[in-house]
Amino acid sequence: MEPIGLAVIGAGYWGPNLVRTAQATPALKLEWLCDLDEARARAVLGPYTTVRATSSYQRVLDDPNVAAVAIATPAATHFDLVRAALEAGKHVLVEKPLTPSVSESAKLVRLAEQSGLVLMCDHTYCYTPAVRKIRELIHGGEIGDVQFVDSVRINLGLVQPDVDVLWDLAPHDLSILDFVLPPDVTVEAVAARGSDPIDAGRLCVAHLSVHLSTGVMAHVHVNWLSPTKIRTTVIGGSRRTIVWDDLNPVQRLAVYDRGVDRAEASSLGQDERHQALISYRVGDILVPALPEREALREVMTELAGAINEGRPATTDGGSGLRVVGLLEAATRSVAAGGALVQVENVIRENA
Amino acid sequence: MEPIGLAVIGAGYWGPNLVRTAQATPALKLEWLCDLDEARARAVLGPYTTVRATSSYQRVLDDPNVAAVAIATPAATHFDLVRAALEAGKHVLVEKPLTPSVSESAKLVRLAEQSGLVLMCDHTYCYTPAVRKIRELIHGGEIGDVQFVDSVRINLGLVQPDVDVLWDLAPHDLSILDFVLPPDVTVEAVAARGSDPIDAGRLCVAHLSVHLSTGVMAHVHVNWLSPTKIRTTVIGGSRRTIVWDDLNPVQRLAVYDRGVDRAEASSLGQDERHQALISYRVGDILVPALPEREALREVMTELAGAINEGRPATTDGGSGLRVVGLLEAATRSVAAGGALVQVENVIRENA
Amino acid sequence: MEPIGLAVIGAGYWGPNLVRTAQATPALKLEWLCDLDEARARAVLGPYTTVRATSSYQRVLDDPNVAAVAIATPAATHFDLVRAALEAGKHVLVEKPLTPSVSESAKLVRLAEQSGLVLMCDHTYCYTPAVRKIRELIHGGEIGDVQFVDSVRINLGLVQPDVDVLWDLAPHDLSILDFVLPPDVTVEAVAARGSDPIDAGRLCVAHLSVHLSTGVMAHVHVNWLSPTKIRTTVIGGSRRTIVWDDLNPVQRLAVYDRGVDRAEASSLGQDERHQALISYRVGDILVPALPEREALREVMTELAGAINEGRPATTDGGSGLRVVGLLEAATRSVAAGGALVQVENVIRENA
Amino acid sequence: MEPIGLAVIGAGYWGPNLVRTAQATPALKLEWLCDLDEARARAVLGPYTTVRATSSYQRVLDDPNVAAVAIATPAATHFDLVRAALEAGKHVLVEKPLTPSVSESAKLVRLAEQSGLVLMCDHTYCYTPAVRKIRELIHGGEIGDVQFVDSVRINLGLVQPDVDVLWDLAPHDLSILDFVLPPDVTVEAVAARGSDPIDAGRLCVAHLSVHLSTGVMAHVHVNWLSPTKIRTTVIGGSRRTIVWDDLNPVQRLAVYDRGVDRAEASSLGQDERHQALISYRVGDILVPALPEREALREVMTELAGAINEGRPATTDGGSGLRVVGLLEAATRSVAAGGALVQVENVIRENA
């Protein structure tokens, strides 16, 4: 099979990673790196490359050798760039967030569907061995019912010029949640609070409470101001609990067979029932072996696979839309002083 | 100076620690261990002791050799036990929370003031070398302005029969906050959400947002269901940031000279201003040497000192009342779906 | 059954722990704490005790209520104190090392055998849940053949007045090795090197190579000068590898199903054989749940059990003698510039 | 200034890193990647490159655009390849070890000196920010006198076909030691022991004792069989102690102001002197901020600098020779059952 002609759009923070991994993917052929600043694109490609740099997006879209574009530009530009690409008949891989609004995102999803083109979101974490294993553990029932989720993603981060900490970091947590939850569990509502203690003009610290259809609460803490870097997610289940510490290469994932159980006892009164039947399991911890694979290479392979097989990508436009729906609901909740915002309503209003 | 006669009330989970540390404090003389279950009190004292066990609280209060009582019974009993002790002319050390309500707590504070007796809350953490150092760093200005606080206190905890996770664990975080914040900073409002995913009949997971008078948000996460134990507090400041990891004996406290700065630039427009002037400091980390002292021994020493010197204890009834005020506001917020509750109002209504 | 009358001898660094745990052991009755400095003994017992203090060892030995003594005095005094106790018909628990020489240790072992009395060494680590689990894993075959052992025990330690770092710290590692190795594996020879970089008059850093009868090398690093505390032992096996990190309460023991395998291939030449058939396993890690038990309480229970049942203790005089044999061989090796010293010879010469 | 034409020789494990970093170094121009297996070289370069692949070393040496070669082939080939390059008038960067013998290494050093060409060893660790800081701390006197060194470099490593674990891993530790020790401290002798428990045909575990001219002992533990990866070096000093944990990105380097001191007291007798005057410092820990720089890029920059300035590289042939001298002495010591081998003698015999 011929490799798929690809152009990377954007030579900023993330673009170079797309360039590197696209070049390492046999099913793709990198044709262009496009950036408004052509010199920057050239610098990213370096002096030894046969890949072409350009500042003209139109030239890329006009190139019949280009079958797909991978877009890593500021979020505010995504809508126009993705639409133009789809209208030019190109498949699209786009960085998170899909766009800054539900209404725009929904339009792109519809457009891709109508055109029969692949619209894929680069929810990179969903392609890590750790997250795939988490999904497998949850879907396979080894965890039991999910009882709580706690996700912390904090570090001394770049205060972004165009997005706040919610839109910058929470897409990771929310796309992972979307990916690993059982198929019948949906997000119903979101409440969020945040602060901007350095007067940066946008939220630098935020806490989200995500309410699932099962009544379970998932909590996400994102923070640009912490001097220590933490990337930890705990998923508590009725049978086992997963602790994912992404910064611990020796032990990224640990499955704890310990927790609090409550046995059923219909014959007891309400009060007795509660205390009497609580028991504690302190069992072994299992650290599953995970393959060492770079997630972004898997993203590239998935992009090529979806195009070649004419199927939606694992993290398709729909997943991008759901994440944007949560982010928009969270932003509304912050504006409303932390009130609970129904995600359904946000999407319905816009779609 | 004669040692102060002391009785410990309650031989449950915490009482034995009071017994042990009281015996190691030269300024105190332990006279009694009192528990409704006298056999249990005897078992705690062991077969080699000269300390007496009793099941009669009245007998303790009647003993003229007893000048003070240390109460470690369930929270619901605190009001009656503390009041009786104060009315019998005894000084009081009481476990957290002071009582389960603002109104009762306020009554006890007034009663102690009127009687000229010491009413001290066992906010143990405030007597650890780490928390004392944190207070010193904040009050001394080395941290600059406090910009955010994030406190996580999670583990596989005992689901308590009488209190929820908020009233069980958050008193630690809230009493520490009360202790270390600069004198002119007060807590204005609280919002809280929580869940009970094991159907225990009370909150097992909770998140609190504490709004300070400076506009800063402090966040507290307490959780009984986590298989991993975390006790970490990050206090971000405009000059430095403190990371306190209480489970890391090698490095309990680390002071990071790193963060995000925003310079003033009145001549610039709003948008330019924000991005242009943000800069990042990545300086050294200092791990201050801390003395190895058991906090509860310091509590005992402080109790004796306050009694002997006729002064309020460092963590006096007032601090206990403020913590209860926060907890009561948090409980109301949970009931109100996470709405922000003014702490002032809660206290005014009750007091 | 009547509790066994016990006296603790020595109120220095370790004695208070024996006092505390003896008091918590129902099968024992603590009668005396004896120290040349009677005031010190009194201070250790505290003001609330019914246990008697004395400076007269003879008085203890004369007391018919005393059936056993637990000796925690400097090593140089062990021989005389243990001998006197055995001659007075008392069972003995003694701190490590049994005595400072093989010849003295051997005499005590014989004396105990002849008298039909229990002579037990306080090799405390052998009573920890972690070491018991290690023994079970090795003896049960789950680890396969032991291929290497690496033990590191370093910290900022008290430079002892009477012993060097070998005799102070290595008894822990050597008694553990003695306890966990399969019954058919013996120690054949020892080589050791060390240094005294602070001119303390004795070794402060030492490295031991312990050669087992299987050809395997066990290495022990002990160090009083390290500012960081490390207590880690790795036991590599042909099937699995154990990592024991005693300072990590969350994960003291981890069993790695990963390693290097070499398949048999008699048909290949020497060189090809070696490379071609090496393969790598990267399997799961299992962290077995361990009970939370204080090892020293188990020591006390084992002492009482051995006396009551008229059987040798798990860590009997023989194990103490073997450890002293290794230490004496190591000391000779250091004196001989690191030469390999046969342990057998050392024991034969002295015994 | 024109960039220096460079060819990378060897497209195996390390060669691709040289290719990548050479391409990122403006002062270099990568002309060739040479490997006996030309297809492998092509695969490393990838489909987008303008760099040429070849299987002919002679063609590289004949190319007048090539001023320098970077050699990453098996150690046994180094002597012939480096000699040919120097004889062809090319500067040389060569992987560790320089060659497998002192005599060959010494010949290359002389040849380079006579030719006025740069002969540089890729002792990569010497170019890390951490090791540079360590050198600065030691040379600047902040550590005081070095009292002990303990270096552990263990992991589940590739059992190499051509070298044992000593020649594979210990060059890192020994080149670092060579780099950071004060100029007046030299290595005098080495003793080593090792084992091959998997019957791999070469040492898989080894322990080296390196004796310095100051009487200090440095210990190195290298191990291919450990399931856990450890890269830790402790350098104990009379004033402060450095702990370098290369796998801890948050805190690679920590400088401990704690240790054991012994005051001078000429008036006291030998015995009293030792104990009486030992004291313990438990001061702060400082974690210095280190720049985030890739060491191998610094290697490339240093190569270009040395060539352009006509000066020896920081890690020149002499440092490579010293490391090989230590390795050869260690190998002899293993063969001699762990006897101490004078490094001076090894070098004198061969040079």
- H/E run at residue C9: strand C4-9
Nearest residue on chain A to D156, judged by CA atoms? A250
Residue A103 tokens read as: 């209404």
pLDDT at D336: 95
CB hemisphere CA count around A175 (13 angstroms): 30
Chain D residues whose beta carbon lies within 8 Å of the beta carbon of residue B287: 254, 284-287
Write the CA distances from D102 to D87, D164, D344, integer angstroms. Answer: 20, 17, 11
Report the alpha-carbon distance of residue B197 to residue B38 in Å, rounded: 37
What is chain C's mean pLDDT, rounded?
A: 93
Are the C-beta atoms of A52 and A31 separated by less than 8 Å?
Answer: yes
Interface test mutation site (partner C, options B48, B156, B229, max chain C beta carbons within 10 A):
B48
Query: DSSP string spanning B251-301?
Result: -SEEEEEEEEEE---TTS-HHHHHHHTEEEEEEEEEE-------HHHHHHH
Report the alpha-carbon distance of residue B317 to residue B92 in Å, rounded: 10
> Are the Cβ atoms of D228 and C236 closer than 8 angstroms?
no
Sequence-ordered alpha helix ranges (H) in A119-237: 129-139, 165-180
Minimal C-alpha gap between D180 and chain B (Å): 22
State which CATH number among 3.40.50.720, 3.40.630.30, 3.40.50.12780, 3.10.20.440 fits the domain covering B4-124+295-315: 3.40.50.720
Chain D residues whose beta carbon lies within 8 Å of the beta carbon of residue B288: 284
Query: B27-41, B265-279, D7-21, D213-227: lowest mean pLDDT where?
Result: B265-279
Confidence band (pLDDT; 50, 70, 90) for A273? very low
Q: What CATH topology corresponds to D4-123+295-316?
A: Rossmann fold (3.40.50)
Are the C-beta atoms of B226 and B252 separated by less than 8 Å?
Answer: no
Helix (H, G, I), strand (E, B) or coil at D255: strand
- Find the largest Cα–Cα distance for chain D: 78
Here the ipTM equals 0.90
Chains with 3 or more CB pairs under 8 A to chain C? A, B, D
Nearest residue on chain D to C238, judged by CA atoms? D198
Select the more confidently predicted residue: A316 or B344. A316
Are the C-beta atoms of A61 and A32 separated by less than 8 Å?
Answer: no
Chain B residues whose beta carbon lies within 8 Å of the beta carbon of residue A241: 225-227
Per-residue tens of pLDDT for chain D, all 351 residues: 799 999 999 999 999 999 999 999 999 999 999 999 999 999 999 999 999 999 999 999 999 999 999 999 999 999 999 999 999 999 999 999 999 999 999 999 999 999 999 999 999 999 999 999 999 999 999 999 999 999 999 988 877 888 899 999 999 999 999 999 998 999 999 999 999 998 889 999 999 999 999 999 999 999 999 888 899 999 999 999 999 999 988 889 999 998 777 665 454 444 444 444 677 778 999 999 999 899 999 999 999 999 999 999 999 999 999 999 999 999 999 999 999 999 987 777 776
Instruction: Give the burial string for A31-66 (b: 16+ CB within 10 Å, else e).
Output: bbbbbeeeebbbebbeebbebbbbeebeebbebeeb
Report the alpha-carbon distance of residue D102 to residue A136 in Å, rounded: 55
| C249 in A contact zone (CB under 8 Å) | no
In the CATH scheme, what is the code of domain A126-292+328-335?
3.30.360.10
Chain B residues whose beta carbon lies within 8 Å of the beta carbon of residue A330: none
Residue C198 tokens read as: 């602070």
Are the C-beta atoms of A259 and B227 separated by less than 8 Å?
Answer: yes
Helix (H, G, I), strand (E, B) or coil at A103: helix
* Residue among C48, C51, C228 minimizing CB distance to B30: C48
Q: Which sign does the torsion angle of CA D81, D86, D90, D93 carry?
A: positive
Report the alpha-carbon distance of residue C44 to residue C28 in Å, rounded: 19
Confidence band (pLDDT; 50, 70, 90) for A268? very low
Query: Which residues, numbered 275 to 294 in chain B, qualify as contacts with chain D under a Cβ-Cβ cut-off of 8 Å?
Result: 282-289
Q: Do β-strands A119-121 and A91-94 pair in parallel, antiparallel, or remain unpaired?
A: parallel
> Are the Cβ atoms of B280 and A156 closer than 8 angstroms?
yes
Residue C276 clears pLDDT 90, i.e. is over it: no
Contacts of B141 (CB under 8 A, 6+ apart): B239
Report the alpha-carbon distance of residue B257 to residue B223 in Å, rounded: 30
* Residue among B254, B282, B289 minimizing CB distance to D289: B282
Positions of CATH 3.40.50.720 in chain A: 4-124+295-315
Q: Taking Cα atoms as reference points, which of B140, B207, B131 lies closest to residue B175?
A: B131
Does the domain formed by C126-293+328-335 have CATH 1.10.10.10? no
Whether residue A97 is preceded by a cis peptide bond, meaning omega within 30 degrees of 0, is yes
| C226 in B contact zone (CB under 8 Å) | no
Give me the residue label for tokens 């611990």: A248
Q: Model confidence over C236-268: pLDDT tens digits? A: 999 999 999 999 888 899 999 987 776 654 544
> Are the Cβ atoms of A209 and B207 closer than 8 angstroms?
yes
Residue D176 tokens read as: 């670092």
Q: Model confidence over C77-116: pLDDT tens digits? A: 999 999 999 999 999 999 999 999 999 999 999 999 999 9
Are the C-beta atoms of C223 and C234 separated by less than 8 Å?
Answer: no
Q: Do β-strands C241-245 and D341-342 pair in parallel, antiparallel, or remain unpaired?
A: unpaired
Confidence band (pLDDT; 50, 70, 90) for B268? very low
pLDDT at B227: 87
pLDDT at B260: 77
Does the domain formed by C4-124+295-314 have CATH 3.40.50.720? yes
Query: A24-38, A247-261, B192-206, B295-309: lowest mean pLDDT where?
Result: A247-261
Positions of CATH 3.30.360.10 in chain C: 126-293+328-335
> Are the Cβ atoms of A30 and D49 closer than 8 angstroms?
no
Residue A242 sits at φ, ψ, to 5 deg, of -100, 130
Are the C-beta atoms of A314 and C310 separated by less than 8 Å?
Answer: no
| B23 in C contact zone (CB under 8 Å) | yes
Are the C-beta atoms of B168 and B157 separated by less than 8 Å?
Answer: yes
> Are the Cβ atoms of B251 and D285 closer than 8 angstroms?
yes
Amino acid identity of B269? Answer: G
Are the C-beta atoms of D34 and D41 separated by less than 8 Å?
Answer: yes
Interface test mutation site (partner C, options D143, D147, D165, D222, max chain C beta carbons within 10 A):
D147
Report the alpha-carbon distance of residue B21 to residue B23 in Å, rounded: 5
Nearest residue on chain C to A257, judged by CA atoms? C289
Q: Do β-strands A187-195 and A341-342 pair in parallel, antiparallel, or remain unpaired?
A: antiparallel
* Residue among A257, A283, A288 minimizing CB distance to C284: A288
pLDDT at D344: 83
Positions of CATH 3.40.50.720 in chain C: 4-124+295-314
Q: Model confidence over B107-165: pLDDT tens digits? A: 999 999 999 999 999 999 999 999 999 999 999 999 999 999 999 999 888 778 888 99
Q: What is the DSSP letter of B127?
A: G
Whether residue D97 is preceded by a cis peptide bond, meaning omega within 30 degrees of 0, is yes
Helix (H, G, I), strand (E, B) or coil at A156: strand
pLDDT at D280: 78
Chain D residues whose beta carbon lies within 8 Å of the beta carbon of residue B286: 284-287
Helix (H, G, I), strand (E, B) or coil at A278: strand
| A225 in B contact zone (CB under 8 Å) | yes
Chain C residues whose beta carbon lies within 8 Å of the beta carbon of residue B47: 23, 29
- How is domain D126-292+329-335 classified at the architecture level of CATH? 2-Layer Sandwich (3.30)
> Are the Cβ atoms of C50 and B49 closer than 8 angstroms?
yes
Helix (H, G, I), strand (E, B) or coil at C317: helix
Minimal C-alpha gap between A283 and chain C (Å): 5
